[in-house]
């Protein structure tokens, strides 16, 4: 199954969320995968930098599982017609 969405819940030990976006966008095979940032960082500069680098969503902690589902469904709007949603195994 192809990757259709990445939800980044920082922190990672190897690279942070911004580095993940940079890496994904630099790779021809992964550059079109949508990335949603999930982080405690809520400064305007962090949000702006994430979107500048290519994130399609930004959710500040704490958040509910429903908030994640809503954002995933929003981002994958076209996929809903194919039966993939945040509630299906393929959508998470």
Instruction: Residue 22: count other Cβ atoms within 10 Å of its Cβ.
Output: 14
pLDDT of 8 reads 59
Arithmetic mean of pLDDT, 32-36: 89
Least confident of 6-20, 32-46, 50-64: 6-20
> Could you tell me what percent of the chain has a pLDDT over 90?
33
**DSSP H helical segments within 1-92, as ranges?**
17-26, 44-53, 65-75, 77-80
Domain 6-91 has CATH 3.30.470.20: no
Place of tokens 């979107």: 51
Q: What is the dihedral of CA 26, 29, 35, 38, to 10 degrees?
A: -80
pLDDT of 89 reads 46
Give residue limits of the domains in the chain.
Answer: 6-91
Q: Report the DSSP beta bridge partners of residue 57.
A: 36
| pTM greater than the 0.85 cutoff | no
């Amino acid at each position: 199954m192809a990757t259709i969405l990445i939800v980044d819940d920082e922190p990672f030990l190897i690279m942070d969320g911004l580095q993940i976006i940079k890496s994904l966008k630099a790779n021809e095979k992964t550059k079109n995968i949508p990335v949603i940032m999930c982080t405690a960082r809520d400064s305007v500069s962090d949000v702006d930098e994430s979107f500048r680098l290519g994130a399609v969503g930004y959710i500040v902690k704490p958040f509910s599982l429903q908030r994640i589902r809503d954002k995933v469904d929003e981002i994958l709007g076209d996929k809903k017609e194919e039966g993939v949603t945040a509630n299906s195994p393929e959508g998470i």
